[in-house]
Amino acid sequence: MANPTGVVIRQQNAGQNLTFGAAAVTSTAFGTQTYAIRVSCITANCHIKIGTAPVAVATDMLIKSTDQPQYISVRPGEELSVIQDAAAGVLNVVELTV
């Protein structure tokens, strides 16, 4: 899948595997040079929300486990929150440096 963010990616940085369930889970803050992330639901569909102290709910952006990895623009210091759609699973988040 092409990178639709328009951000030129120079390298991949820290990655996080977030185990999600019925309660929202939040990532650590993105690094000072992170302006994009790549997310992929590994085992089950999930909903995500990005921002400062975000809390994902079932009406937020849906990421399906059958989707290709999604590239999303972010700001340094933001976080990602994830919650299950119908079942618990794992979301992989990789910070991308420009």
Residue 4: predicted pLDDT: 57
Rounded to whole angstroms, the Cα distance separating 50 from 45 reads 17
Report the 10 Å Cβ neighbour count for 68: 9
**What's the pLDDT at 51?**
98
Domains in the chain, CATH or no CATH each = 11-97 (2.60.120.10)
The pLDDT score that the predictor gives to residue 14 is: 77
What local confidence, expressed as pLDDT, does residue 30 receive?
Answer: 95
Tens of pLDDT along the chain (98 residues) come to 455 556 566 667 778 999 999 999 999 999 998 999 999 999 999 999 999 999 999 999 999 999 999 999 999 999 999 999 999 999 999 998 86
What pLDDT is recorded for position 1?
A: 45
Sign of torsion, CA 2 5 10 11?
negative
Per-residue pLDDT at 50: 98
